[in-house]
Structure 1
């Protein structure tokens, strides 16, 4: 299982939101490069960065800070937030990002998203936010009236390999991930690699996910709130 440390950027600061609420943002570091350096020095070579400004504004805003992290640390970065078109995805991948994560585009502009999959293959990760078992979008205020099979089938046909899946009820809560959800998804879609996101509270959660043979997990708030150490995260990291 790969364990991916997370950095959420808001106005250039490292923050965490509670259940996606921008009014409940906790600032952990004013220096994103310094934060990423801790992960690099601990032994992680790949990190997860979300541009929260971009997610809200519909355009990628924090590229300058992401580029500083890549250029100064020589670290691999997957990023999402505000990627709305093929051109947005192309621009970010041309800027040195290893992977881009798209969620709103897959729902609102599926043709654009399929073009990204056609050109970039496994460098394109689907961000799938689930609310009560349905795909959520628009700040998690709306849900897609379509089954997961119907939603994912055309993407799988075009080469989708990795899905970063967030249970919106768990995000930023430290209540533990929805392990049953990830188990069911892995069984239902055996050809997809699922990265669990949201709710990780301690090392036991990582052990549970590893025991289920999950592909990957993103760890954010649990680390920042000192519920889990980088050393413990590395114990379950095989990337």
Structure 2
């Protein structure tokens, strides 16, 4: 079970994003590359880098910075945020050199394109899903429901051959509440692809709950963390020892 260290980038800075709203972003570090290297030194075995400018404003100015991160570390870098087209995917995988690239709304809205991309880039495309408590998928920075629901979308996208699903409950600070664990359990129940809990573990007890979650003999493939480690809720060493990553 992997621990993904997450870096959100906005205007060239590493930021924290309360409740999915870029207008409320809190600056953490003016040097995302140094932050990425720091995660590796602390023992991270995966990085997830999210480009908030591309996601919110269709602005690709952070791509050179993402390339610097890829070149600076020797662990797999997964990237997401504003990836909407085949050109975006090609840029991320071929030009920048990330190991996997994530799509969100674009994967749901254009499933023909998703199928083609998964065919052209096997095991390279993952799908990020923000889920409301009633299992409706959220859009526009968690401010609205999409009218689509988790189980039906998972079934549709699973047949495309995606590399996995990053699942996050919108409008919550932790994934480890009964409704949140239920969403992750539902994902494990429906698909055979890897499912990653995208953030929200408050402490070691939460990590244990995520580690022990099981449906149909399947468990989560990983947990995404960032703020939880920088705030001292647990260390990377503690998390990796617990998760076996």
Deviation of 1:181 after TM superposition, in Å, equals 1.9
126 and 175 in structure 1: CA distance in 2 versus 1, 3 angstrom threshold? closer
> How far apart in 1 are the matches of 2:70 and 2:85?
23
Aligned equivalent of 2:220: 214
Aligned equivalent of 1:127: 128
> How far apart in 1 are the matches of 2:206 and 2:123?
27
Aligned equivalent of 2:171: 169
Runs of 5+ unmatched residues, structure 2: 214-218
Runs of 5+ unmatched residues, structure 1: none
> How far apart in 1 are the matches of 2:154 and 2:212?
26
128 and 21 in structure 1: CA distance in 2 versus 1, 3 angstrom threshold? same
SS at match of 1:179: helix
CA deviation profile, 1:10-42 (whole Å, cap 9, x unmatched): 111111111012232221111112111122112
8 Å CA contact 2:44, 2:236 repeated in 1: no
Number of positions where the alignment pairs a residue of Structure 1 with one of Structure 2:
236
8 Å CA contact 1:165, 1:194 repeated in 2: yes
Map 1:71-220 onto structure 2 (within 5 A). Answer: 71-94=71-94, 95-131=96-132, 132-170=134-172, 173-174=173-174, 176=176, 178-189=180-191, 191-212=192-213, 213-220=219-226
> How far apart in 2 are the matches of 1:127 and 1:175?
15
Deviation of 1:144 after TM superposition, in Å, equals 2.8
Root-mean-square deviation (Å): 1.9
8 Å CA contact 1:85, 1:109 repeated in 2: no
Aligned equivalent of 1:38: 38
CA deviation profile, 1:61-91 (whole Å, cap 9, x unmatched): 3111111111122331101111111111111
SS at match of 2:17: strand
* TM-score, structure 2 normalization: 0.88
